[in-house]
Amino acid sequence: MQRWIFALLIGLLGCWRNPAEAEPLPRVQAPLGEAQPIAPGFRPAPPLPQIQLNPPLPGLRRLVYLSNGHIEAAHGLLLVPQSERQPARLLSLAQQLVQRAFAARNSLAVVDVSLYQAEGYAGFGGPLPLLTASVPKARLEEFLRLRPENLGLYDHLWLNPNEPLPPTRRPSRLAETIPTYEGSPQELQEQQTLQETHRQKGPLRGSGLYYHGPPGSDKVALTFDDAVHPLYTPLLLDALGRAGIKATFFLIGRNAEAYPYFVRDLAQAGHELANHTYHHVRLVGLPEEVVRDELLSTNQLIERLTGQKVRFFRPPGGRYDAQVLRVARELGLTTAFWTDDPADFNNPGSNVIVSRTLRYLRPGGIILLHDNAQETLPALEKIVQKAQARGLTLTTLSNQAGW
């Protein structure tokens, strides 16, 4: 019995960890195959609550809403026949949808809408919307007074200037787990050595790589991938504003194209904007000119919308090779990874997201979350509180680096 109790105590002591001590970092790995491993606890996200309109609005695919604990936002997705894609008709449909959504649910703070052409609609990665808009309740009457000839007076509306074309590159749906380098064993070892050097001494300015912030700093970079999103971005903006925290958002270019007003909102709120490719494609194996176009077009779009020079890039899925690093460096981009990925995109539950984040939380660390992950919103406030309790400050990559 005494031996059993002694063994139990040893086991418990082995499981106990000082909360200020983070677990060892996963090393850069070699490819495991086309599909990255699924994080433990994978499950579908809880269904978003729906707003029912009566009578139904023809073409309405979904009208969902969500709260961040302080405000509610809704997003309506409407499919429009090609015969009705005139600007006047699109505006009228958007106004109907917004007005009816507010009438159906009085607690909404903002209603965002995306109108797509019904023919050829392919969801994420397909043709861009025909019209998008974001309407806070305080601006509802202003939005309803809009006419086709004065659309430019409303700064949170985008009308697609081009014919919607089918995507030329298939978007990657790989969620990030561990940075994955595709190259020779010697090149992989060099990346692992660099990663360890950054962990011990901080990033090397001019190296084109950013694995870890300065380890002696109390600053932790808070980053969000896959921005911007018509339902989640307004809620994230509100939550971060309430917490007084700035973050780095890695933008998908096609999302920024369709929702440019959210890009400007992020910049005006003091957040840092970074590059996550235009189509969210897996870059390894693509021709060099395609890799360059994916990065350059996103850089140019962000700079045109905000005037901000883009400094950081993160490859979708964390998949990269020597060509990707070289092209990014030639475009003035530092390729940034992470130390702390709770796999929020795999919907493990808000409490699991918090516990996983805290497990790897460290001075100079880099947290990877997603702009479009439903369970991140309720986890964010707890992550902020726990980080502050440990004397850590959540901030942008640039602020952490001090560059």
Please give the positions annotated as active site: 225, 370
Show Cβ contacts of residue 312 under 8 Å, excluding neighbours closer than 6 positions. 210, 248, 250, 272, 274, 275, 333, 334, 335, 336, 397, 398
Dihedral sign for Cα 239, 245, 248, 254, please.
Answer: positive
Render 206-263 in DSSP notation, one character per residue: TSSEESS--TTSSEEEEEEEEE--TTHHHHHHHHHHHHT---EEEE-HHHHHH-HHHH
Q: Please answer whether residues 210 and 235 qualify as being in contact, where contact means their C-beta atoms are separated by less than 8 angstroms.
A: no
Closest to 164 (Cα-Cα) out of 79, 276, 262: 79
208: left (phi over 0), alpha (psi -120 to 50) or beta: left
Please work out, in degrees rounded to the nearest 5, the angle formed at the alpha carbon of residue 195 by the alpha carbons of 190 and 200.
125
Asked whether the beta carbons of 188 and 320 are under 8 A apart, the reply is no
Please state, in angstroms and rounded to a whole number, the distance separating the CA atoms of residues 378 and 320: 32
The beta strands (E) that lie in 55-130 are given as 60-67, 72-80, 108-117
CB-based burial label for 250 (10 Å; 0-12, 13-18, 19+): buried
Neighbours of 264 (CB within 10 A): 17
Residue 269 DSSP label = T
CA–CA separation, 397 vs 403, rounded Å?
9
